Every structure is written in structure tokens, then in C-alpha cells.
Amino acid sequence: MRHLVTLDDLSNFEIEQIFRLASGMQSQLETWAGICRSKLLATLFYEPSTRTRLSFESAMERLNGGTLGFADPSATSVTKGETLADTARMVTNYADIIVMRHSWAGAARVMAQYTHIPVINGGDGSHTHPTQALTDLYTIIRRKSKVEGLTVGICGDLQFGRAAHSFALAVARFGGKLIHIAPNPLQMPPWVLAQLEQCHGQIPLEVENITEVIEKLDVIYVNRLQEERLPANMDAAAVRGSYLLNAEVMKNAKPDAMIMHPLPRVNELAYELDEDPRAAYFEQSANAVPVRMALIASLIGLEQLILTQPPKRHIRTSTTTCTNANCVTNYETYLVPECETFSGNMEFQTCAYCGNLLS
Ligand code: NCD
């Protein structure tokens, strides 16, 4: 059985297989319709969501499967103090696959540890959002045929934006060249930079303003400020409204550049760009359905055809507790800390739950 907690759970080959299936599903929906008949997807959304939850429900129902779940945890036993582990043990008996979103980094990993059905991470705190990254890559490949060799600028809240983290790591894995564009307090966190360098040999250029690099970019990936995740000691007023992509900025962009955004947008991406043929963000949200259909089918229906061996990882019990205040190990106290080792020219360890660097 396989899970998708972070993109490291899939090999590049498997991702390409999922994209081939997604593309087939997109062009011939009826052929695949019966694949999840009598299967159930549990959607456990402990955090707000529009696109992710609806596109997962749409994907499952287009495969003739059913869905059950919640979008408002206040109506569940969470309010009575039920742990993630117990919820996982219970949902195992009610569904065939789970997609979950939670505000704690590493929450989906806990669910995967305590259930006997595949778990898909629909976003965990400011950690990662692997299915968004799959949709993003798929959208780039559909427009530009490949990611390799493209210059990809990621702009906005790179510190707290989980979509930015998984997207950066995904682009690097497929050979894209990254530029990180953000005001200093919102730059990419050290754990993402360490993985980019160690696993993909990339040290991205970091700039504060998009106008410095706009003419170089093949892909411009904008993120909103993650207002709900800003720490109390951060000067929010200083970063609020500090970046904006609009028609004036896009005048200097390549004529075939792509504008992307995981959405929702707040005030960092001007509406005047919606008619620009370079805008790809609504296409991105539409592509979420075939990509999630292919992922669900791969994890529960076509596992032997699509998935091979999970990539090898070096995870073991850790003596160091995670210092990330948002890490699930600080809330679910029955968890045993685990760390992942990345070795090569510079060895480092991360919390296996939330990805934070351990010292
Ligand atoms: C993103 C998320 O929830 O992380 N949205 C999404 O799933 N498409 C991005 C965001 O909320 O900024």
C-alpha cells in the first residue's frame, strides 16, 4: 500500500505515469469512469479548503466512487479531544482512501502511520502540498511540454506557503531552474533550501522584487501572503501588500511566459491579467481534477500498473525533539520523534514529520 504524504513518496517515473494516466482521463473521461465503483474517499478537512476538497470529490465521483467526510472539524470528535491516531484507526473501516488537510505540519504522516488505507496529504500546515505540486507540474507540461530547462520564478510568501515548498522541490526534481522572489522575511525556509542543494544541486537566486528578474522567467508562480500563519512577532504590516503581479509588470515578461497561482488570490495577482493568454491559474485549478483522478486510481485501483517501488529513504527514531512549534509531534504526544537523513556533500537531518531541519 502506498501513501502520498510528501512528493518524496513518489519517484519521477511514477509521477510521469500518473500524468500519462491523467492526460488519458482528461481526454476520455467515460473510459475510466467505473474504476472506483464501490470505493469510498474520506475527505478529512480540518482546515478551510475550496479547490482541494471539491476537486478531490469531483475526481472520485467522476470515477464512480463515493465520498464521505467533513469540512468543519468543530462538528466532529476533535472537539472532544480525539487524537489523529484514533481518527485514522476508525476511518480505516469507513473508506478505501483518505485525503486530509490539517493545520499541523506532519499531520498526514500520522494518519498514514495509523491507518490501513492510502492517505493523501491535502496540505499540512506550512509544510507541504504534494497534490498541488502535481497539478502545477502537469499544467506546465501541458503548456510547455517539459519542465527541464525552464526558468521558474516563485514569488510571494515562500516562508509559510506550503504550495510554494512542494512546487519548488518538484520543479527542481524535473530539472527546472528556480528563482525565489520575496521580501526577506518571507524567503524560502532553510529546510527547502537544504533539500534543493543536497538533492538537486540547486542554490536558487533570491531577489526581493519581481521586476529584477521578470524578463528571464518562463513560469511566474505567485502565492498569497499566508496571513493566518504569520507568527505574532512578525511585522505583518511590513510584508502586507509588498508584492503584486499586474499588467504593468507583465509588460517586460516573455510573450510565452506562464502565470500560475495555486489560488485563492487575495491582492497579489491583478484581475486585469485574467484575460492575458499567459494566465494559467484557472487552467491549473481545472487540471486538478484529472490529476487527482489519476492519483486516486493509482493508489487504490491501478496500483500495480502505475506504481513501482517507493523511493528509498533513510528514516529512523530520533533522540532530538522537533523545535518547530507547528509540528504535529508537539501536539500528539504519543508520537515517537523520527528523523530523515539526507547525505551527500553536506549531511543533514530533518524531522520526518514536518521536514524541519534538526540541529
Ligand atoms: C493553497 C493551500 O491551501 O495551501 N491553496 C490550494 O490548495 N489551492 C494555497 C493557499 O492557500 O494560499
pLDDT of residue 81: 87
290 CA distance to ligand 1 centroid (A)? Answer: 18
pLDDT of residue 301: 76
Task: Give me the domains of the chain, ranges plus CATH numbers.
Answer: 7-129+286-300 (3.40.50.1370), 136-281 (3.40.50.1370), 315-358 (2.30.30)
Beta-strand relationship, 338-342 and 315-317: antiparallel
262 CA distance to ligand 1 centroid (A)? Answer: 6
Catalytic positions, please? Answer: 51-52, 80, 101, 129
- The pLDDT of 94-114, averaged and rounded, is 98
Asked whether the predicted pLDDT for residue 78 surpasses 90, the reply is no
pLDDT of residue 90: 96
348 φ/ψ angles, rounded to the nearest 5 degrees:
-150, 165
C-alpha 269/C-alpha 230 separation (Å) is 20
C-alpha 261/C-alpha 270 separation (Å) is 12
C-alpha 288/C-alpha 292 separation (Å) is 6
- The pLDDT of 30-49, averaged and rounded, is 93
Asked whether the predicted pLDDT for residue 344 surpasses 80, the reply is no
pLDDT of residue 307: 83
Asked whether the predicted pLDDT for residue 309 surpasses 90, the reply is no
- The pLDDT of 49-68, averaged and rounded, is 96
The three-state DSSP-derived secondary structure of the chain is: CCCECCHHHCCHHHHHHHHHHHHHHHHCHHHHHHHHCCCEEEEEECCCCCHHHHHHHHHHHHCCCEEEEECCHHHCHHHHCCCHHHHHHHHCCCCCEEEEEECCECHHHHHHHHCCCCEEEEEECCCECHHHHHHHHHHHHHHHCCCCCCEEEEECCCCCCHHHHHHHHHHHHCCCEEEEECCHHHCCCHHHHHHHHHHHCCCCEEECCHHHCHHHCCEEEECCCCHHHCCCCCCHHHHCCCCCECHHHHCCCCCCCEEECCCCCCCCECHHHCCCCCECHHHHHHHHHHHHHHHHHHHHHCHHHHCCCCCCCCEEECCCCCCCCCEHHHCCCCCCCEEEEECCCCCEEEECCCCCEEC
pLDDT of residue 53: 97
Of 43, 45, 49, the one to substitute when testing ligand 1's pocket (max ligand atoms within 8 A of C-beta) is 49
pLDDT of residue 47: 94
Residue nearest to atom 11 of ligand 1 (CA): 264
pLDDT of residue 196: 96
263 CA distance to ligand 1 centroid (A)? Answer: 6
59 near 85, Cβ under 8 Å?
no
109-122 exposure pattern, b = at least 16 Cβ within 10 A, e = fewer: bbbbbbbebbbbbb
pLDDT digits (tens, 9 = 90+) for 173-191: 999 999 999 999 999 999 9
* Straight-line distance from the first to the last Cα atom of the chain, in angstroms, rounded to the nearest whole number: 32
Asked whether the predicted pLDDT for residue 277 surpasses 90, the reply is yes
- The pLDDT of 75-99, averaged and rounded, is 93
C-alpha 134/C-alpha 7 separation (Å) is 8
